[in-house]
């Protein structure tokens, strides 16, 4: 793990909306921004201490879910220092209190699932308290937004769709074992296999945000899910002249990605180009438009993504059973319009054949606890 050059003000410019979406009230985000002058230090104006003070205030008030999200901001954007690792531990502890000591609008379980090859994998499961619809949606974020930060999205998804939502840290992040590698889908494939074993006959979908969208596309291309939604995922579908210079990406993304890869520092340009080329789904032969495995895929992103080339999304339209949405006036993951995009994605998913069939049986099923 390593630290990297990024100005706190620049990070706030890009992530204020994201912090608010996690559930941190904007006035508290503004307090953090006003107090932070240093990214990696330990002084009174440094990133972790400022967020930690706000998190402890929430804990003192018994607001454990808010505290968990504030500790999540403290450990952001990578566990590159001991203070951030401690903040992450505090986040998990606060979240455990939030989900155990308060009535949530959904049934909630934290489970650790044994996944072949990679071992134990902690998960958060959420489902409606009544009339759960048959079907499972696995949800993951990207290299810096992990499953606790996705709590509000997971709750909303479970309530709106009726599906069992299984939130997981993607490979190289959070509580997932090991670093980010091109074959990280083996972890998720093992998870999906275990989900199918535990919920026989129910369709399984995957929704991935940012780098999580990469895995959504790969799992669909491999035929391992019944449907998939990719929001802002890097896929390697773009032509070489359409790709981006990874080391020139803004807002500290090279360092965030490098930490997920398990590196000790930023590599040279040629080295990281070769490393990331191994993730290309086109290079792996998984985007051949002549291959139709029947798995429907929705790929969406903002029209002005500053991390991912637009062609990584639009060129997926050549794949059979693929729908592409480009959201005007939006950036990475269409963050400016994420709520309507998610609502439209839920509707798209529930109208896919496997989920329509499962929905037609939902009236006769008893409610299913997570």
292-329 tens-digit pLDDT:
899 999 999 999 999 999 999 999 999 999 999 999 99
Instruction: Read off the pLDDT of each residue in 119-132 and give the average, rounded to a whole number.
Output: 94
- Could you write out the DSSP letters of every residue in 18-29? HHHHHT--HHHH
Do 165 and 127 touch, CB atoms closer than 8 A? yes
364 pLDDT higher than 60: no
Please check whether residue 1 lies inside any domain of the structure.
no
Do 305 and 240 touch, CB atoms closer than 8 A? no
Locate 59 and state its tokens.
Answer: 């804990």
CA 193 – CA 362 distance, rounded (Å): 22
Give the predicted TM-score (pTM) of the model: 0.95
Q: Could you give phi then psi for residue 215, rounded to 5 degrees?
A: -70, -35
Q: Are residues 232 and 302 in the same domain?
A: yes
Torsion angle of C-alpha atoms 161, 167, 172, 175, degrees rounded to 10: 170
Range of the domain at 296: 107-364
Q: Are residues 73 and 146 in the same domain?
A: no
Please check whether residue 3 lies inside any domain of the structure.
no
Q: Are residues 294 and 223 in the same domain?
A: yes
367 pLDDT higher than 80: no
Instruction: Read off the pLDDT of each residue in 12-26 and give the average, rounded to a whole number.
Output: 95
Q: Are residues 333 and 356 in the same domain?
A: yes
Long-range contacts of 289-294 (CB under 8 A, 24+ apart): 289/318, 289/319, 289/320, 291/320, 292/320, 292/321, 293/220, 293/221, 293/222, 293/223, 294/223, 294/320, 294/321
What is the pLDDT of the chain when averaged over all its residues?
A: 94
Number of domains in the chain: 2
Largest CA distance in the chain: 59
Residue 82: pLDDT band with limits 50, 70, 90: very high
Phi-psi region of 119 (alpha: psi -120 to 50; beta: other; left: phi over 0): left
Q: Are residues 72 and 136 in the same domain?
A: no
107-115 and 136-140 strand pairing: unpaired
Torsion angle of C-alpha atoms 355, 361, 364, 368, degrees rounded to 10: -30
112 pLDDT higher than 50: yes
Do 126 and 165 touch, CB atoms closer than 8 A? yes
Q: Are residues 136 and 82 in the same domain?
A: no
Domain ends where: 52, 74, 101? Answer: 101
Domain ends where: 86, 101, 116? Answer: 101
CA 51 – CA 33 distance, rounded (Å): 9
Q: Are residues 347 and 229 in the same domain?
A: yes
Neighbours of 302 (CB within 10 A): 25
How far from each other are the two terminal CA atoms of the chain, in whole angstroms?
35
363: Cβ–Cβ under 8 A, 6 or more apart, which residues? Answer: none
Q: Are residues 56 and 175 in the same domain?
A: no
Do 314 and 326 touch, CB atoms closer than 8 A? yes
248-295 tens-digit pLDDT:
999 999 999 999 999 999 888 888 888 888 999 999 999 998 888 999
- Looking up residue 204, the CATH number of its domain turns out to be 3.40.50.1820
Q: Are residues 38 and 131 in the same domain?
A: no
CA 161 – CA 133 distance, rounded (Å): 7
Task: Calculate ∠ Cα 225-228-230, nearest 5°.
Answer: 145
Q: Are residues 232 and 195 in the same domain?
A: yes
- Looking up residue 23, the CATH number of its domain turns out to be 1.20.1440
Q: Are residues 279 and 169 in the same domain?
A: yes
């Amino acid at each position: 793990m390593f630290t990297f050059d990024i100005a706190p003000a620049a990070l706030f410019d890009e992530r204020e909306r994201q912090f608010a979406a996690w559930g941190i009230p904007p006035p508290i985000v503004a307090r953090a921004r006003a107090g932070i002058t240093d990214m990696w230090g330990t002084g009174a104006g440094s990133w972790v201490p400022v967020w930690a003070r706000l998190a402890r205030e929430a804990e003192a008030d018994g607001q454990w879910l808010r505290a968990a999200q504030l500790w999540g901001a403290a450990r952001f954007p990578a566990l590159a220092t001991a203070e951030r690792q401690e903040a992450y531990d505090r986040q998990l502890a606060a979240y455990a209190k939030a989900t155990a000591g308060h009535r949530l609008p959904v049934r909630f379980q934290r489970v650790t699932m044994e996944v072949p090859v990679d071992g134990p994998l902690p998960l958060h499961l959420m489902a409606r308290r009544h009339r759960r619809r048959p079907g499972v949606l696995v949800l993951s974020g990207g290299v810096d937004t992990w499953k606790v930060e996705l709590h509000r999205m997971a709750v909303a998804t479970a309530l709106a769709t009726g599906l069992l939502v299984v939130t997981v840290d993607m490979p190289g992040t959070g509580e997932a074992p090991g670093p980010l590698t091109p074959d990280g889908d083996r972890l998720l494939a093992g998870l999906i296999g275990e989900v199918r074993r535990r919920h026989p006959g129910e369709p399984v979908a995957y929704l991935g945000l940012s780098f999580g969208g990469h895995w959504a596309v790969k799992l669909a291309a491999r035929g391992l899910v019944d449907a998939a939604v990719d929001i802002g995922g890097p896929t390697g579908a773009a032509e070489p002249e359409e790709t981006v210079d990874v080391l020139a990406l803004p807002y500290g993304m090279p360092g965030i990605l490098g930490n997920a890869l398990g590196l000790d520092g930023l590599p040279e340009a040629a080295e990281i180009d070769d490393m990331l080329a191994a993730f290309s789904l086109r290079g792996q032969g998984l985007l051949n438009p002549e291959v139709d495995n029947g798995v429907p895929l929705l790929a969406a992103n903002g029209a002005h993504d500053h991390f991912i080339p637009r062609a990584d999304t639009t060129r997926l339209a050549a794949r059979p059973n693929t729908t592409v949405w480009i959201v005007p006036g939006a950036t990475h993951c269409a963050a400016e319009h994420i709520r309507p995009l998610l609502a439209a994605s839920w509707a798209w998913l529930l109208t896919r054949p496997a989920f329509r069939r499962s929905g037609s049986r939902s009236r006769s099923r008893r409610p299913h606890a997570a």
